[in-house]
Structure 1
């Protein structure tokens, strides 16, 4: 009788030729799933030690970062926003994701090679190749897209926002001057077309919008302003000395300013302080010539227009009148692209400065309301590309997280508005003492409303707990609409 040879174990992972067909097929799927979830695991099985070690370390770091980000989003949203707006952190994350994505794709391709497609049954082979391609496109493409998104965020932070440290809130508020101009960064002859001051409660995010007419005269400058010594009684030299001419006065005396921001901007901030009695920490200027591009990047905006607004022809220099109207933006609910939104905000023909200010505020509020998470995710590349050409600001990079958090809180409140226009204020002969009182009383009322809203929400939460966890949703006030019926008759945000 012949001697029986002892059975010898053959590893089916590394030597699939000696395994039966079901084992070979299962082996292929297991290796593919392993490399998709844990890049480097397959290389470790095949004893490619150095590559496997590096890949597994990258995988461990990647999963750890994902877990930390998820937990932080739930329990410490503010800290996550801080990290997400820090250019140094974004640079590091971009570099890591680029390396991780490249390694993931190479690991997947190497795994497909090591599976040895000839060992799979014909039917499984086709399915396996299709699954590998889908994984490459979906996961690899997703990682590449995420890398580009984070890099765009990094570029946006460095291109738009300033370097340096931030300023503290004054009397519990941040005050930001918003300017709309027809001239972009670095151009001469800037005359802000629209001016408003946004005063934000540093704790609640409750905001007040203060509209200042561009033709306001006799604007005072604080004593510490370089222009105060030139105009100690206010900017008073006739009809030409109006608010939107202050910018050029600042540029004229640029050597007297500190040079940290354009002298015209600093002068206009000083004028806004003199008008409102509020300390202005920052500014943001929107170039209306690039505004059209930003609106289009957002996919347009929705407003409800109460009046017919013309798209005007150029002014005839001889007659000083517009040519024939080229078109109209009709009353009712409208979805406006960049071109029509720009005309809606700027059109002067057949309307007063007051109506124009209200329309500009409607456009701003529509942008803020519709710039939600889904819009940003879907159109972030276009928005990030357009923003540096449209917006300039002295808000520092290190304080952006604070304002992002306040912007999210502000969605819980209705923005109050105050327009320094007739009949409340006479732009030609304004009483700035009365204006200061008007601003102060509006802010006090806004703060009280915020406290009442917070108390009401707390009471609702208490009732929900007392009723055994019944789901109760507080009706949120609609943000963006004017507080006066006159404003709403001109336009509002749906």
Structure 2
């Protein structure tokens, strides 16, 4: 029994060496067995000085141990040779999740923000100098295209009143390679999914998805739900949990070479704020989160309703959204009633973590 308990503890610890976000499942791969090698990987990680770009006009920082991390998946096509669409200039915040870790570091909440949400974008500082003018009613994911990740952070803080302590981002190409190096991720589909847009074709049943199909899954929107971004969010959240389950099976001591390759790919795929932009700091964050398992992670979608002026856009449900953000500010679980009536809560994911 003691041996089984030690194995379960090791599995949880390994799994949470992976800081995962679910839309494009940002994963920081690695483990204690290769911690020494991570020191050589610092140069892979792109860092952004958020404090310099955001200034002092921000929500109040917490000092009780609770933490908020904005997890971004950019839809940059750089280096993909047109595989995921052409005619797309720059990048957008294709996926955004606010990860709230409670002060005990034993539970977490994840709030997905639909990319098509109409929001107020504040005036933002550009990374290279100058500013981007604010806008009253604009799509949420345009904040990244206009002003980079700092503008997305500022937009989230403006709409939520919640201070983001950190941000982490991964791109398409790195995500696909990382899933391949993990050997794929197991999922179960309750019904067939066919999406000509993403190229995904899955029958009902159990599947182990390699990188290309995993990327297609988290990009799928026309094959599920109402064909909007809301259905895709459900897939992304389900895949996030499946990814963490898969990460728990990887033994960093069993193959140091494989673990180093995972770490190398992950750090090359990641951008972060300067407070996390080193392998040592990412490992420290993973250590802090080691007590959180998928069943202690509550995932919701920001309460929204369809925009009567444009069926392809959604609007925040102000009172319900306020309850969601207030829960995070007060370090409480998001109440189930907060998402009732939201069109984002009507779409059940046809995908779950595989056995």
Pick from 61, 66, 86 the counterpart of residue 173 of structure 1: 66
Aligned counterparts of 2:132 and 2:212: Cα–Cα separation in 1? 43
Residue 339 of structure 2 corresponds to residue 438 of structure 1: no
Secondary structure of 2:120's counterpart equals coil
Residue 352 (str. 1) matches residue 225 (str. 2): no
Counterpart selection for 2:144 from 242, 247, 257: 247
Kindly report which structure 2 residues correspond to 1:400-415, keeping only aligned pairs within 5 A, or say none: 400-411=282-293, 413-415=295-297
- Offset at residue 435 of structure 1 (A): 1.3
Q: Any unmatched runs of 5+ in structure 2?
A: 1-5, 18-30, 52-59, 80-87, 336-343
> How far apart are 1:329 and its partner, in Å?
1.3
Q: Tell me, which stretches of 5 or more residues in structure 1 are unaligned?
A: 1-72, 85-145, 251-263, 315-325, 449-483
- The 8 Å contact of residues 177 and 284 in structure 1, kept in 2 or not, is answered as yes
Distance of 1:310 and 1:284 partners within structure 2: 30
- Corresponding residue for residue 384 of structure 1: 263
Higher RCO structure, 1 or 2 (CA under 8 Å, sep 6+): 2
Determine the structure 2 residue equivalent to 1:297.
181
Give, in whole Å, the separation in 1 of the partners of 2:132 and 2:260. Answer: 47
Matches within 5 A, 1:100-111: none
Aligned residue for 1:331?
A: 204
CA displacement at 1:194 relative to structure 2: 1.1
The answer for the alignment partner of 1:491 in structure 2 is 351
Q: What is the CA RMSD across the aligned residues, in angstroms?
A: 4.1
Comparing 349-358 and 210-219, the one that deviates more: 349-358
| TM-score, length-scaled by structure 1 | 0.49
Residue 165 and residue 490 in structure 1: after superposition, are their counterparts in 2 closer, same or farther (change >3 A)? closer
**What are the Cα deviations for residues 260-289 of structure 1, in whole angstroms up to 9, with x where unaligned?**
xxxx11100011112222101211111012
From the superposition, tell whether residues 175 and 163 of structure 1 become closer, same or farther in structure 2 (CA, over 3 Å): same
- Please state whether the residue corresponding to 2:250 is helix, strand or coil: helix
Relative to 1, partners in 2 of residues 1:203 and 1:295: Cα closer, same or farther, differing over 3 Å?
A: same
Query: Residue by residue, what CA displacement relative to the aligned partner does 1:189-230 show, whole Å, maximum 9, x if unpaired?
Result: 111211111111242231111000101113354x9x559994
Correspondences of 1:45-64 after superposition (within 5 Å): none
Q: Distance in 1 between matches of 2:43 and 2:62?
A: 23
Match of 2:171 in 1: 287
Q: Determine if contact 1:355/1:490 at 8 Å carries over to the other structure.
A: no
Q: 2:53 matched to 1:152?
A: no
Count of equivalent residues: 286
Relative to structure 1, is the Cα distance of residues 157 and 437 closer, same or farther in structure 2, using a 3 angstrom cutoff? Answer: same
Based on CA coordinates, which of the two structures has the bigger radius of gyration? 1
> 1:379-411: per-residue Cα shift (whole Å, max 9, x none)?
303212311332211214364344212321112
Shift of 1:417: 1.3
Alpha-carbon distance, 1:172 to partner: 3.8
Structure 1 residue 364 and structure 2 residue 251: aligned? no
* Conserved 8 A contact 2:303-2:321: no
Which residue of the other structure, out of 129, 145, 159, is the alignment partner of 1:275? 159
Q: 1:349 to 1:375 in 2, by over 3 A?
A: farther
Q: For residues 356 and 308 of structure 1, what CA distance do their matches in structure 2 show?
A: 15
SS in 2 for 1:416: strand
Alignment of 1:75-474 (within 5 A): 149=34, 152-160=37-45, 162=47, 169-170=62-63, 172-183=65-76, 189-221=90-122, 226=125, 230-231=133-134, 235-236=136-137, 241-250=138-147, 264-312=148-196, 328-350=201-223, 351-372=227-248, 374-377=250-253, 378=255, 379-394=258-273, 395-397=276-278, 399-411=281-293, 413-422=295-304, 428-432=314-318, 434-441=320-327, 445-446=332-333
In structure 2, distance between residues paired with 1:434 and 1:165: 29
Please report the TM-score for the alignment, with normalisation by the length of structure 2. 0.67
User: Higher strand fraction: Structure 1 or Structure 2?
Assistant: 2
Higher helix share: 1
